[in-house]
């Protein structure tokens, strides 16, 4: 099979070097992975080509990179699956991290964030005589998170991290969940308090990139959403994020639809006068355009039935 691989090359140590693309045409077997092709390039064509890998079996997490614009493990991606209509396969280093050379990125930011969430058990109370025993049921739901191989794919494509380096980002947040939800951990409330701050669970945009690119099905965003709910259950209700969720649920429960104006006011916080005033200009703009959503909201005829669905699911009431 003929394959064309377009690789982003960059050596920041070379004075005046700029990132550039280089194209390689290869003859490879049908089952070739992107990593096989890259290694072939390094061995047969250009020994200076920088690519990081180890296990070649999607266990070690060393070869995450962007293939056709999306983070993937190169060893888990077959050329034939990504070379649509003979188009060149575009291979770039991960995003959100500085390039060391070619496809090799500096993952310091990744590890710093993992350390930030204190990724170890912090039990409380007296030590048990033997082991800390946890039931299967209490641990089974954590298996998915523990599958994380720390490859960095989710961090590479995280859209919140792209605009704010303070965001803890998906991998470390998923790791945080692994301890927040572990029955043996005693620091749950303190952890949730930390994660409730700026840079934590509420700064996720829910873009779902991390769910999409994770090669191990960790679904970091789903864990982040769980922690939002847990934070609220543990009394961390006085954040814009918590008020946003509550206001959203309140309007759908009473009207069947979202009340956008109410959502803006509630999320900002009724007593947050500067915040409310900051919303006035956009309010006036939309009013002048004749499209400020009615503050009283819209109501669907069947809204009482919606309320019943809420009660049945949320409260178990009839």
Partner 1 sequence: MKYAWWPGCVARGGTPELYTSTVAVLKRLGIEVEEMHDFSCTGAGVLQERNLKLGDALNIRNFAIAEKMGLKEIMTICSTCQGVMGQAHWRVMRDPEYLREINATIAEEGLEYMGGVVVKHLVWILVEEYGVEELKKHFTRNLSCLRVAPFYGCYILRPTNSLGFEKAPARETSLEAVIAATGAEVVDFRGKKACCGLPILLINQENSLKMVAQHTGTAKDLGADAMVTPCPLCHLNLDGYQDKAASKNRPGGQRINLPILHFPQLLGLAMGMGPEELGMPKHIVGTRELAATVRQKATVVNR
Residues that bind partner 1 (CB under 8 A): 69, 159-160, 162-164, 167, 198, 202-209, 211-212, 225, 228-229, 232, 239-241, 244-245, 248-249, 252, 256-260, 263-264, 267-268, 281-282, 285-286, 289-291, 293-294, 298, 300-303, 305-306, 308-310, 312-314
Q: How far is the CB of 232 from partner 1 (least distance, A)?
A: 8
Q: State in angstroms the smallest separation of the CB of 192 from partner 1.
A: 15
Complex with partner 1: residue 29 or 69, whichever CB lies closer = 69
The token pair at 252 is: 């759908």
Q: Annotate 184-206 with b (16+ C-beta within 10 A) or e (fewer).
A: bbebbeebbebbbeebbbbbbee
Classify 97 in phi/psi space as left (phi over 0), alpha (psi -120 to 50) or beta: beta
Least Å distance, CB 243 to partner 1, is: 8
Cβ proximity to partner 1, 62 vs 268, nearer residue = 268
H or E stretch covering 100:
strand 99-101
Reference 282, options 270, 296, 268; nearest CA is 268
Rounded to the nearest whole angstrom, what is the least distance from the CB of residue 133 to partner 1 in the complex? Answer: 30
Compute the least distance from the CB of residue 98 to partner 1, in Å.
Answer: 18
> Closer to partner 1 at the Cβ: 190 or 206?
206
Q: Which residues contact 301 (CB under 8 A, 6 or more apart)?
A: none
DSSP string, 2-61: EEEEEEEE--TTSTT---EEEEEEEE--TT-BHHHHHHHIIIII-TT-----S-SSSSS-
> Residue 61 or residue 241: which is nearer to partner 1 going by CB?
241
184 vs 250 by CB, closer to partner 1: 250
Find the shortest distance in angstroms from Cβ 43 to partner 1.
31
What are the angstrom distances between the C-alpha of 215 and each of 45, 206, 282?
29, 18, 41
- Alpha carbon distance 67, 212 (integer Å): 13
CA distances from 129 to 120, 182, 186 (A): 20, 20, 17
**Residue 115 vs 285, nearer CB to partner 1:** 285
Shortest distance, position 291 Cβ to partner 1, whole Å: 5
- Residue with Cβ nearer partner 1 (95 or 152): 95
Q: Is 130 in contact with 80 (CB distance < 8 Å)? A: no
Of 53 and 218, which CB lies nearer to partner 1 in the complex structure? 218
Residues in the chain: 318
- CB 121 to partner 1: min, Å: 26
Residue closer to partner 1 by CB (options 39, 89) is 89
Q: How far is the CB of 21 from partner 1 (least distance, A)?
A: 15
Strand order in the sheet with 89-92: 20-27, 2-9, 89-92, 64-67, 70-73
The answer to whether the CB of 245 falls within 8 A of the CB of 236 is no
């Amino acid at each position: 099979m003929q394959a064309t691989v377009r690789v982003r090359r960059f050596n920041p140590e070379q004075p005046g070097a700029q990132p550039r693309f280089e194209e390689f045409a290869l003859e490879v077997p049908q089952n070739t992975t992107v990593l096989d092709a890259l290694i072939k390039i390094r061995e047969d064509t250009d020994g200076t080509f920088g690519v990081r890998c180890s296990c070649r079996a999607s266990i070690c997490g060393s070869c995450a990179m962007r293939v056709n614009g999306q983070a993937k493990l190169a060893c888990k991606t077959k050329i034939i699956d990504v070379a649509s209509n003979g188009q060149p396969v575009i291979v770039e280093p991960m995003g959100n991290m500085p390039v060391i050379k070619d496809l090799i990125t500096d993952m310091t930011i990744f590890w710093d964030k993992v350390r930030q969430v204190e990724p170890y058990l912090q039990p409380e109370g007296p030590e048990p005589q033997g082991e800390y025993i946890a039931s299967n049921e209490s641990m089974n739901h954590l298996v998915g998170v523990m599958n994380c191989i720390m490859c960095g794919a989710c961090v590479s494509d995280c859209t919140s991290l792209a605009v704010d380096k303070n965001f803890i980002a998906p991998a470390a947040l998923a790791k945080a969940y692994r301890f927040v939800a572990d029955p043996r951990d005693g620091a749950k409330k303190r952890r949730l308090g930390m994660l409730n701050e700026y840079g934590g669970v509420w700064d996720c945009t829910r873009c779902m990139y991390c769910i999409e690119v994770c090669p191990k099905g960790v679904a970091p965003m789903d864990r982040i959403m769980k922690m939002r709910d847990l934070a609220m259950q543990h009394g961390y209700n006085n954040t814009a994020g918590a008020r946003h969720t509550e206001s959203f649920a309140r309007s759908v429960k009473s009207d069947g639809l979202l009340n956008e104006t109410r959502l803006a006011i509630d999320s900002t916080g009724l007593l947050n006068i500067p915040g409310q005033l900051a919303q006035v200009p956009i309010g006036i703009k939309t009013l002048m355009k004749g499209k400020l959503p009615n503050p009283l909201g819209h109501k669907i005829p069947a809204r009482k039935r919606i309320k019943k669905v809420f009660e049945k699911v949320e409260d178990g009431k009839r």
